[in-house]
Chains A and B, each alone.
Chain A
Amino acid sequence: MNSTRTFSRNTILDSVRANQPATQPMPTIPHFHTNKPADPMATFSESIARMAGVVVTQDVPNLDSFLRAKFPDAKVICSAIPEYGGTIKPESLNHWSEASRIDVCILRSPMGVAETGSILLSDIELQVNTIAFLAHDLVILLDPKQIVSNIHDAYENPYFKLRPYSLLMTGPSGSGDIGGIVVHPAQAAKTLTVLLSPAPDAGQRTG
């Protein structure tokens, strides 16, 4: 297959070189900060609500009580955050398909995007990437200070250049494929709840 691959590669590249138009310049891309939201947290909340995500702005002093009250039938709670145990941890999953037995998954996102209501997750937070898709309900902690204005700012995050996997997630899964009617869920998570919660400071985490 290797010699064929090389031949095909060279054939395609030769054809591209022979046919590509005269070089045109790359434009400079502004970040459009003149249109920054006045209140990024409010804009974030409005944006994610449009995508059927739920934002909890009030303080949640006891995460366990919150989860038990919100998801009374949940049996398997997967916690991917150090400050909460849950019933399982991602590293306890032997196969990535096993994430399908998770009822509720709790994670912390390092960044939110006001413009779209998206939250960033990567293989660092997820550890097992399928937990964000196979779990029924997702609860994401997000520090309001870590909400950036727009998608230009979001893609400045080093994750997109360094991590094997990075995800901008915006609401639970949905589809408009049946009769053009938008429904939730589609194939992945049924609900997405964002708790606006300050990140534990570095001192606490390392201490």
Chain B
Amino acid sequence: MKRRKFLILGSVFGLSSSLLGKKNNNVVFSKSLKSVEKTIQSVQQHLFPEGSKIPSARSMNVTQFLLETITHPSYDKDIRLFVIEGAEELESREEGKFTVLSEKEKERALRSYEETHYGSNWLSRIMTLTMEGMFSDPIYGSNVKEAGWKALGSYGGLPRPTTRYIKL
């Protein structure tokens, strides 16, 4: 299946023409990203809460990691848009109040969102991006003090990277 079709399948709005038009406009794109930052952070914190056997989203700087990751040139530009659109759609479903819902209500909202093909894909993407932060080398700004690796008893190999993305 083609990626774009896959991403928008089941979306209420589809990939909006306004965002697609922003592909080459970094300023507008950054604004869009900023506008959904809190929603994404809130979702990450719900998926990776405090008191778990693995570190929490709150302690691992995963939102900053996610933002830096999807804006890096190595990241797929379609998925970058999808991350933003999916957050906007979640807020739309929850009438702009997702971040202030109780934990129980967030669980309901996310499980309900997961029932849609689109929402399921988006949540899966947010989880993957969050895990990438938690379990990648700390040079990327997350996995603080290797807490992600310690929790799983698995450590990155040697030599460790000295720059991000093999910047020689």
Do the two shown chains form a genuine complex with each other? no
Show the binding face of B for A, using Cβ within 8 Å: none
